Amino acid sequence: MGLLENKTAIITGATRGIGKGIALEFAKQGANVAFTYSSSVEAATALEAELTAIGVKAKGYQSNAANFDAAQTLAAEVLKEFGTIDVLINNAGITKDNLLMRISEDDFDKVLEVNLKSVFNLTKAVIRPMMKQRAGSIINMSSVVGVQGNAGQTNYAASKAGMLGFSKSVALELGSRNIRCNAIAPGFIETEMTAKLDETVVDGWRKAIPLKRGGQPQDIANACVFLASDMSAYITGQTLNVDGGMITA
């Protein structure tokens, strides 16, 4: 028996990295998985097959989370197809890093739109069905950068810190309906994105982390399983730092 047996989860941006890790772990724990992707049709088809092979229901949706109407349509389609929406994981995100002096208005707006507005769009789309069920868990993927900032990432940090305030407010508004909302703040997680970086730089980062290693998508997925499951039934409005000890405050 998995910890997420008979639950349906929507996971945004799930064809690679952290999102993919979450989707696979959720399937292993018995959850049915509806996931979104922006452009990689082949990766989505492959993931759909991989999840289905685990023995759960899975379906990929090409959907832009940053578009309000697209998010409403997605929730309606998932509800029709799966019957319930028990968990929402707002994971889709982008970076457009630069020093503030060099960031263009477009680079600022785009990051805020994809990373933060998408959280509003999808949360708004799922709260009605969750309120009817009188149950639900919303998990927002923030970042260590949203908790403590990072030079060269004002846009990304603002979007990820904005998620934290949003999550706490949702927790306060919807707690009486048994809908929980928490955030996860990953530290340095090793994915396809970080594999392109200079190995000596990455090694320096690893050495600076108390646990002396980068995190794996699995590490974030495990935290998501906990927050999505009934094991965390009395936890809401929290930010869980999954970062190997980078932040201890």
Gap between the Cα atoms of 127 and 164, Å rounded? 18
Question: Which residues make Cβ contacts (< 8 Å) with residue 200, sequence separation at least 6?
Answer: none
Gap between the Cα atoms of 186 and 243, Å rounded? 5
Coil vs helix vs strand at 245: coil
Kindly state the greatest CA–CA separation across the chain.
Answer: 53
Beta strands in 7-95 (DSSP E): 8-11, 32-37, 58-62, 87-90
Gap between the Cα atoms of 246 and 146, Å rounded? 13
Rounded to 5 degrees, what are φ and ψ at 211? -80, 0
Q: Are 125 and 118 in contact (CB under 8 A)?
A: no
Burial of 239 (0-12, 13-18, 19+ CB in 10 A): middle
Q: For residue 90, give Cα distances in angstroms to 22, 37, 38, 106, 230.
A: 11, 12, 14, 22, 19
Gap between the Cα atoms of 192 and 190, Å rounded? 7
Catalytic residue among 37, 61, 156, 234: 156
Catalytic site includes residue 234:
no
Residues marked active site are found at 156
